[in-house]
Amino acid sequence: MWEFENNNVMVTAGASGIGYAIAKAFCHGGAKVHIVDIDQAALEQASETFPDIITSRADVSNEGAVEEVFYVQYDRAGPIHVLVNCAGIFNDPYDPAKSDDASIFNADMATIRASLETNTYGALRAAQLLIPLMNGWGNVVNVSSGMGQLSDMNGCCPAYRLSKTALNAITRIFADELKDTNIKINSVCPGWVRTDLGGSNAERSVAEGAAGIVWAACLPEDGPTGGFFRDGQPIPW
C-alpha cells in the first residue's frame, strides 16, 4: 500500500457520505486532497474541518464545469495520483408498495439519461481528463454497485442498474488501454450503505462502505487492475 503523504487525491462527491469518509482517510494520512461536490454548504463544512483541503463546487454531469475544475486542480497541486469517482445518484422511482413504478416497462427515458450523465458519463469524463495527468502511475476507483452485476441482474430500478453496468464496462475498457502503464483502474461496490442515497435502513456504515474503496485507491504498482471488488475481494461482473 502506498504512503499517503504528498499524494494528490481527487474525490468526486467528496463533501458528504462515503466520499467524505474517503477524503477524510486520505487527509489523515497526509495526502493533498481535492474534493468536488455539488453541495456548497457541505464543501464549506469540509474546509472548516480540513483547512488544507481543496474544494470545488461542480456538477459532474456538466462537462464544461468538470473540465475547468480538474485543470484548476492540476495548476494548484500538480499531477493526480488517485482519482475516486464517487459521485452518483439513485433517481429511479421506488416505493415497495408501488413496484410497477420501478419496472423497466415504465422506465422514463429522461430518468435513465440523468442517471447515465452522473453515474456513468461523469466518471468517464473525469478519467479522460485526469488519467493523462497522472504521469504514467496512479489508481482510479469507480464506485459501482452490485446492482450493476450482470451475473446477478434482477428487475427494478433500470436507470441505476444500467448506469452502474456501463460504469463497469468503462473500467474494463480503460484497464485494457492502460495495461502497459502503472495506472490501475478498478470498480468497487461499497455495499448497501447508510447514506442519503442508501437510506437509513441500509446494512452497512459509511466507514464500512468506504474501507474497500480506500483499499483499491491505495493498491501497489503490482496490484490488480480491471477488477470488480467488494471489501478487498473480487466479485463477479
Q: What is the DSSP string of 24-88?
A: HHHHHTT-EEEEEES-HHHHHHHHHH-TT-EEEE--TT-HHHHHHHHHHHHHHH-S-SEEEE---
Name 233's bridge partners.
Answer: 230
Residue with cell 495526502: 31
Alpha carbon of 154 to those of 188, 189, 219, 235: distances in Å? 19, 17, 31, 17
Confidence at residue 3, expressed as pLDDT on a 0 to 100 scale: 58
Domain spans in the chain, listed from the N-terminal domain onward? 8-234
Cα(166)–Cα(144) distance, rounded to whole angstroms? 10
For residue 72, the model assigns a pLDDT of 77
Task: Give strand pairing partners of 127.
Answer: none
Characterise 206 by phi-psi region: left (phi > 0), alpha (psi -120 to 50), beta (else).
alpha
Between CA 74 and CA 205 the distance in angstroms is: 33
pLDDT value at residue 99: 72
**CATH architecture assigned to 8-234:** 3-Layer(aba) Sandwich (3.40)
Number of Cα atoms under 13 Å in the Cβ half of residue 88 = 27
DSSP state of 81: S
Residues of the chain with pLDDT under 70: 1-5, 97
Residue pair 188/209 in contact (Cβ under 8 Å)? The answer is no
CB 92 within 8 A of CB 158: yes
For residue 98 the three cell numbers come to: 408501488
**Chain centre to alpha carbon of residue 63:** 16
Asked if 232 contacts 212 with a C-beta cutoff of 8 angstroms, the reply is: yes
| pTM of the full structure | 0.94
